[in-house]
Amino acid sequence: MTDLSITFDWTDFGSHDNPLIDGTFANLRIRCGQTAVIQVLDRKAQTIRDFITVPLYPIAEWIAANWWALLYECDSLGKGGTQESFASRHSLRTAQEGFAMPELKICSEGEDTLFTWNPVRSAHQNVEFIGRGSFRLPTADAAQQLESLVDAVLGRLSAKKLESPWLANEWSAIQNSDPDESEFCRASGFLGLDPYSMSQQVGNGIHEIWDTLPPGLRQDIFCASSGDTLRAVGTWVNSIGIHADAMRRWSGVFEPDVPANARAPWEIGYQLADDARRRFGLGVGDLVDLENIPDMKMRFIRADSPPIPSIEGLMCVRENNEALYYTARQRPESRRFLAARGLMGWLYGQPDVISLLSTTLDRRQQQQRAFAAEFLAPADAIRERITTRQTTEEQIIELAAHFQVSDFVILHQLKNHRIAETPV
């Protein structure tokens, strides 16, 4: 983890028809620790600087309009919606209003917020952004920095005797939400929806589905869904007929041997996998026998196909230590991977009695996927079997068959651990 710093110096700049634009020009800097997120190459002057001169009102307006989605919506493959609509809620370039703005993406990972930025160049502007990087920090810290910017803009408008009723009212509603309102707003944010500009029918649907889901599944289900797919997903979950009162919470068999928030989620997943293999006495090249995990039994229960691709299954544990996997997956390697994902929760603890297995890019789901890949097909074991810098499709198929995983898992291990170049 590291510190985020958003600083600015007010300045008078230009003349526009909109006084809210004219009144909020500033030299804006964004830094992650000692790293400048904003790195601007001025092609005309051939200089590089760490700030941009832009009006902050559009940025404050964008933050307020997307507040709940910025802090709570996770990216997820196959949840529904378009990449364009997702980007509009999470990319700072959406707030550029004709001014040069970095390609900075702000996205939830659960209890953390991930900031990523990439180079961007426009043929119509003399500047380009040349920085690239990423960092994550606790969501509460991210919220504090974003709050400070909006508060400063409102203070600047007040000092200049300017008014923005929409921003003032929207921000007041956000800041003065009571606990019940905040819960509804977070639920809306998980879906990427603005709680203040939705129909009563949509709002009632959110309340209804939230109340019918088991508490431990609510956030995961909402994060894996969109506003358009939520009702179908809720119906699917309830059709499975899981009786949460017959299940038990997972306390965790092992104490994690890695700092909980010290690294990227997948790095923690890799280290937990190494820790689990060591505790089970598995050598680098030993295959995992999931049917003989000590003190744990696994059973797959056929479920109807989920209404969206982002959901892969549900897992819960009975009092007799039997792990139940509800999934439509039939291929042995797919079930094996799901079982390994659930095993991470069994070994190191999960928040409730039922767990969703999905493609959502929140911290826990990323850890699970990395754990399963490394637990079943360790990078060092793959590395021992690869003797060239370039792999072939045949090699990948053979590796997948050996480790009893999909080709997709082997491809990811090869790429993520930089073992060898792949044909795709």
- Note whether 188 and 166 are same-domain residues: no
- Note whether 37 and 96 are same-domain residues: yes
> Cα(65)–Cα(196) distance, rounded to whole angstroms?
9
**pLDDT confidence of residue 3:** 82
Pick the last residue of a domain from 116, 137, 172: 172
pTM for the model stands at: 0.90
Q: For residue 365, is it within any domain? A: no
- Note whether 123 and 182 are same-domain residues: no
- Note whether 13 and 118 are same-domain residues: yes
Contact 358, 310 (CB under 8 A): yes
> Cα(311)–Cα(237) distance, rounded to whole angstroms?
10
- Note whether 188 and 231 are same-domain residues: yes
Q: For residue 53, is it within any domain? A: yes
The pLDDT tens digits for 216-235 are: 889 999 999 999 999 999 99
261 pLDDT more than 60: no
- Note whether 39 and 141 are same-domain residues: yes
**pLDDT confidence of residue 249:** 66
The pLDDT tens digits for 333-365 are: 999 999 999 999 888 876 567 889 999 999 999
Q: For residue 281, is it within any domain? A: no
Q: For residue 387, is it within any domain? A: no
The pLDDT tens digits for 113-130 are: 999 999 988 777 788 999
- Note whether 12 and 125 are same-domain residues: yes
Q: How many CA atoms lie within 13 A of 102 on its CB side?
A: 28
The pLDDT tens digits for 364-407 are: 999 999 999 999 999 999 999 998 888 999 999 999 999 999 99
262 pLDDT more than 80: no
Closest CA to 341 of 405, 285, 420, 249: 405
The torsion defined by the Cα of 190, 193, 196 and 201, in degrees rounded to 10, comes to: -100
30 pLDDT more than 60: yes
- Note whether 102 and 232 are same-domain residues: no
- Note whether 163 and 185 are same-domain residues: no
Give 307 or 249, the one with higher predicted confidence: 307
The pLDDT tens digits for 32-67 are: 888 899 999 988 888 999 999 999 999 999 999 999
Q: Per the structure, how many domains does the chain have?
A: 2
> Cα(97)–Cα(230) distance, rounded to whole angstroms?
33
Contact 367, 112 (CB under 8 A): no
Q: For residue 74, is it within any domain? A: yes
The pLDDT tens digits for 192-202 are: 999 999 999 99
- Note whether 235 and 111 are same-domain residues: no
Q: For residue 400, is it within any domain? A: no
Q: For residue 271, is it within any domain? A: no
- pLDDT band, very low/low/confident/very high, at 416 (cuts 50, 70, 90): very high
The pLDDT tens digits for 294-330 are: 888 899 999 999 999 999 999 988 878 888 899 999 9
Q: For residue 120, is it within any domain? A: yes
Q: How many CA atoms lie within 13 A of 63 on its CB side?
A: 23
Domain region containing 201: 178-240
Contact 289, 313 (CB under 8 A): no
Per mean pLDDT, which range of 131-135, 239-243, 282-286 is the poorest? Answer: 239-243
Pick the last residue of a domain from 172, 198, 220: 172
- Note whether 45 and 136 are same-domain residues: yes
Pick the last residue of a domain from 150, 172, 194: 172
Give 279 or 259, the one with higher predicted confidence: 279
- pLDDT band, very low/low/confident/very high, at 174 (cuts 50, 70, 90): very high
- pLDDT band, very low/low/confident/very high, at 1 (cuts 50, 70, 90): very low
- Note whether 12 and 110 are same-domain residues: yes
